[in-house]
Amino acid sequence: MSEPMTVKEADEVYERHGKSLEKNHHGEYAAISLEGRVIVGKNDIEVVDQAIQEFGSGNFVLYRVGYKYVGKIRREQCILATSIRSLT
C-alpha cells in the first residue's frame, strides 16, 4: 500500500487539473484522479461513489470547486468514508 497523499500534493493535483473548472463549475464537487481524470457533480456523495468505482479507493482527491479549504475538510471525510466502504 502506498503512502497517503499529503495536503500539498493534493493541492498540486487541484492546481493542475481542477483550477480550470472554477469558471463553469464553481461550488460543485470535483473528484480528480491522480492521472488528471475528473468527475464533477453537485452532490458530493454521488461524486465520491462514482470516483471510487472509476478510479478506485484512494486514487483521487475531492474538492469543492473554488473552495479549496472546504475540499480539504471534505477530502478527509472522503478518505474516511472510502476506508469504511472498503471494509464492507
Residue type, 43: N
DSSP alpha helix (H) spans, 18-67: 22-25, 44-55
Q: Within 10 Å of residue 85's Cβ, how many Cβ atoms?
A: 12
Task: Identify the burial level of 58 via C-beta atoms within 10 angstroms of its C-beta, where 0-12 means exposed, 13-18 middle and 19 or more buried.
Answer: middle
The pTM of this model reads: 0.73
Task: Dig out the grid coordinates for 49 from the structure.
Answer: 461513489
Q: Is 4 helix (H, G, I), strand (E, B) or coil?
A: coil
Q: Which residues in the chain land under pLDDT 70?
A: 1-3, 68-88
Look at residue 87 in the predicted model and tell me its pLDDT.
46
Q: Are 65 and 30 in contact (CB under 8 A)?
A: yes
